[in-house]
Amino acid sequence: MKRWIAWILALLLAVMPLLALAEDDPATDPAAGSETTEQPEEQEPDPSPQEPDPSPTASAQPTASPQPTDPPVIGETLSIDTATVYDGMKTSYGHGYVPTVSGGKAIIVLPLLGNTLGQRIRVTPELSAGGPYVLGNYQFDVLKSTETATDGTAHEVFLIRLELPLSGERMNGTYPIPFTVDYVATDGTQMQQSFTVQLTVTDGKNASSGGGGGSYRETVRKPVLRVEAVQTSPAEIVGGDTASLALTLKNVGNYDARNIRVSVHPETEALQSPGDLSEQFFAQLAVNQKLDVSFDLSVSLGARAGAEPVTVEIAYEDRYGGIYSEQTQVHVVLTQPQVVIAAAEYESIVNGGADLAVTLTLKNTGVRDAEAVQVQYTGQDAAIRHKGAEDFQTVGPLKQGGTAKLTFELRALPSAGEGKHSFSFECRYSDAAGSGEYADSYDFPVTVTQMASLGHDDVRLPESMTSGESFSLPICVYNTGFAPIYNVRCTLNCDGLICSSAFMGNLEPQQSAEKTVTVFVTTRSGSQKYGEAYGSFDIVYEDADGTKYYESDSARLRIDEPQAKTDAEKERERQKVEEQQTLSRWWVSVLIGIAIVCILIAAIVIAKFMRMLKMK
């Protein structure tokens, strides 16, 4: 054991000179290079501002919302004027209008009521092959105009008038001609409707009696029954009444008609057929003779004003037992009140949190007085609310053709999302006869915009810093509005301070962003290098339109001059360096000694292990 201790002491004495050399090596001296001031790495500036995200769909923030040139008009679809007779018509649509056929052409008049964007429609007659007309492109545009009816009254109407050339080989019969009408509704919706007019030809050829190929070897002699006149009574038909529909039939063929069956079939629920009396029988109708037939139709309670279609079916035979049938559509005009919201005046664009005044124009377009007229706000869009305790207004009676104006105060909520919203009203009324109550809903579009708004935490600079020092500055911004903001950039502009901009990017509503920047303190510009330095903390951001917004807070910092070191301070620093060197040498010696001991112990263990192996 003593031998091993002696070996250890000998090794320690051998390594002591090596430790002395290590102490003189400048590579192990922690004070080496202490005179060189470490320069802080300059922070790279943020990338250039990003372009606004193209995804936002919000519209620009307007300074003022213009009044629409054409206020929204309710009733986006067009309808036939069934009560008026215009030039070229023998009777109104409500009383069985049929086009005039004369001089080898058919004159078709189709009056339409309603409003479109630009008050223009495009009309396309859908002519199929095999008809009695000359095929061609008859598409044309019609502008809304003031037309004088045969009774001298003026009407605003889209008056479709078509002179359709007829083929010289035309066949007798009734031909439906659909008119497709394309237009843009007042709310910008592309619309298309179809109206069918029945064209009856009686001056053409009858079907061939035999053969094929469409040849006309002889004119077929047969009966042909047509509805020549339609009359309804009483003059004013209301819900709950019984209307009499009187038809005049004429045999325009060249044979007598026999076993005649006439029936009527209402096309809507407003009219009800008289059950077993919906079909009537007649034995015979001679050539050029007329037949009067009438039906009683029940009018439903609460039936709407307007022309209700009724299909008339006529079945008959010739003297040889040949069977024929005809169909004609006529109309029964119901004279109910019809109160509509004819116009709505309001700003089409409103800021979130702003009030919205809506003025409604009511009009009784029916032919009877309306009672208990009331309008109620029924908006389902949570972004638009009604102001005040009561959300309805009562007008009372409204006479035929009468109008009334009501104003409702609404408000777009501050939290309303940007974009399209809507509000709605319900118009309720009853007729004077007490036959029914009516309710109609109307929706109106409105666009809500939001102002860009941004907040930030207070930026606090240290009261003073010594020139040559640096400090960290945390920055936090948040979107306080309800619209996205884009390209948020924060910059500290202060004399004597160097700091890169903090680019926060885009912020959605209620979203925040944080970033920490490093600020380096130098000296003030000008002759006074030290002292109070003033500047600003600036924020710039954009809305969806690319409009820039600016916010700024003042900034202040006192820059102190670095102090020269005294001899006493230098001596204290030298002593501190020597202490650090001594401590460093002691630790190096201890570590080396521990390493040697570990090596010796490992050698002893290995030697004993080898001896044991030899002994075995």
| 574 backbone dihedrals φ, ψ, rounded to 5° | -65, -45
Helix (H, G, I), strand (E, B) or coil at 238: coil
Report pLDDT digits (tens) over 518-562.
999 999 988 889 999 999 999 999 988 889 999 999 999 999 988
Residue range 219-244: mean pLDDT, rounded: 82
225: nearest Cα among 255, 268, 184, 182? 255
Cβ-proximal residues to 328 (8 Å cutoff; 6+ apart), any chain: 96, 174, 198, 226, 227, 311, 312, 314
Can you give the pTM of this predicted structure? 0.49
**Last residue of one domain, picked from the residues 385, 420, 449:** 449
383 neighbors 413 (Cβ within 8 angstroms): yes
What is the rounded CA–CA span in Å between residue 387 and residue 413?
11
Residue range 45-61: mean pLDDT, rounded: 36
Q: CA 151: distance to chain centroid?
A: 46
Q: Which CATH number covers residue 524?
A: 2.60.40.10
Q: Which CATH number covers residue 295?
A: 2.60.40.1510
Q: Is residue 402 part of a domain?
A: yes
Strand order in the sheet with 403-412: 339-345, 355-364, 403-412, 384-386
pLDDT exceeds cutoff 60 at 52: no
545 neighbors 61 (Cβ within 8 angstroms): yes
Is the domain of 357 the same as that of 329? no
Q: Three-state SS across 90-153? A: CCCHHHCCCCEEECCEEEEEEEEECCCCCCEEEEEECCCCCCCECCCCCCEEEECEEEECCCCC
Containing structural domain, residue 240: 220-336
Task: Give 7's pLDDT tier (boundaries 50, 70, 90).
Answer: low
pLDDT exceeds cutoff 50 at 514: yes
> How do beta strands 437-449 and 349-351 pair?
parallel
**Residue 606: DSSP 8-state:** H
Q: Is residue 228 part of a domain?
A: yes
Which amino acid would we find at residue 486?
Y
Is the domain of 441 the same as that of 490? no
Query: Above pLDDT 70, what percent of the chain?
Result: 84
Helix (H, G, I), strand (E, B) or coil at 254: coil
Q: Is residue 137 part of a domain?
A: no
Q: Is residue 373 part of a domain?
A: yes
Helix (H, G, I), strand (E, B) or coil at 597: helix
Q: Is residue 321 part of a domain?
A: yes
Q: Is 396 exposed, middle or buried (CB count within 10 Å of its CB: 0-12, 13-18, 19+)? A: exposed
Is the domain of 461 the same as that of 437? no
307: nearest Cα among 332, 338, 281, 278? 332
Helix (H, G, I), strand (E, B) or coil at 431: strand
Is the domain of 385 the same as that of 490? no
Report pLDDT digits (tens) over 602-613.
888 888 888 888
Q: Is residue 520 part of a domain?
A: yes
Helix (H, G, I), strand (E, B) or coil at 225: strand
What is the rounded CA–CA span in Å between residue 367 and residue 377?
27
Task: Give 220's pLDDT tier (boundaries 50, 70, 90).
Answer: low
Report pLDDT digits (tens) over 158-182.
999 999 988 888 888 888 888 999 9
What is the rounded CA–CA span in Å between residue 65 and residue 270?
44
- Residue that has been written with the tokens 């859908």 in this structure: 126
138: nearest Cα among 126, 150, 129? 126
404: nearest Cα among 452, 357, 372, 450? 372
Report pLDDT digits (tens) over 390-448.
899 999 899 988 999 999 999 999 888 888 999 999 999 988 777 778 888 999 999 99
Max distance between CA atoms of the chain, in angstroms, equals 156
Confidence (pLDDT) at 400: 85
Q: Which H or E run includes 371?
A: strand 370-377
Confidence (pLDDT) at 11: 54
Q: Is residue 555 part of a domain?
A: yes
Confidence (pLDDT) at 43: 40
What is the rounded CA–CA span in Å between residue 532 and residue 354?
46
What is the rounded CA–CA span in Å between residue 227 and residue 553?
87
Q: Is residue 584 part of a domain?
A: no
Is the domain of 356 the same as that of 323? no
487 neighbors 541 (Cβ within 8 angstroms): yes
38-47, 262-271, 477-486: lowest mean pLDDT where? Answer: 38-47
| E strands present in 166-239 | 173-184, 190-201, 225-233
Q: Is 301 exposed, middle or buried (CB count within 10 Å of its CB: 0-12, 13-18, 19+)? A: middle
For the stretch 264-300, what's the b/e string if a residue is b when 16 or more beta carbons lie within 10 angstroms of its beta carbon? Answer: bebeeebbebeeeebeeeeeebeeeeebebebebbbb
Is the domain of 426 the same as that of 323? no
**Residue 206: DSSP 8-state:** P
Cα-based distances in Å from 203 to 254, 301, 415:
12, 44, 71
**Last residue of one domain, picked from the residues 336, 366, 395:** 336
Cβ-proximal residues to 209 (8 Å cutoff; 6+ apart), any chain: 217, 218, 220
Task: Give 284's pLDDT tier (boundaries 50, 70, 90).
Answer: very high
Cβ-proximal residues to 238 (8 Å cutoff; 6+ apart), any chain: 299, 303, 334, 335, 336, 368, 431, 433, 435
Looking at the DSSP assignment, which residues form a beta bridge with residue 230?
247
Domain count, the chain: 3
Report pLDDT digits (tens) over 18-51.
444 344 443 334 333 333 333 333 343 343 334 3
Is the domain of 344 the same as that of 444? yes
**Residue 32: DSSP 8-state:** T
Is the domain of 523 the same as that of 415? no
Q: CA 122: distance to chain centroid?
A: 27
Is the domain of 327 the same as that of 360? no
Cα-based distances in Å from 540 to 437, 490, 536, 549:
59, 7, 13, 6
Is the domain of 301 the same as that of 234? yes
What is the rounded CA–CA span in Å between residue 138 and residue 144?
19
Confidence (pLDDT) at 70: 39
pLDDT exceeds cutoff 60 at 505: yes
Helix (H, G, I), strand (E, B) or coil at 603: helix
What is the rounded CA–CA span in Å between residue 48 and residue 489?
10
Is the domain of 353 the same as that of 312? no
Is the domain of 381 the same as that of 408? yes
360 neighbors 341 (Cβ within 8 angstroms): yes
**Last residue of one domain, picked from the residues 311, 336, 361:** 336
**End-to-end Cα spacing for the chain:** 24
Report pLDDT digits (tens) over 330-377.
888 888 888 999 999 999 999 998 999 999 999 998 878 889 999 999
What is the rounded CA–CA span in Å between residue 325 and residue 257?
11
Q: How many residues in the chain? A: 616
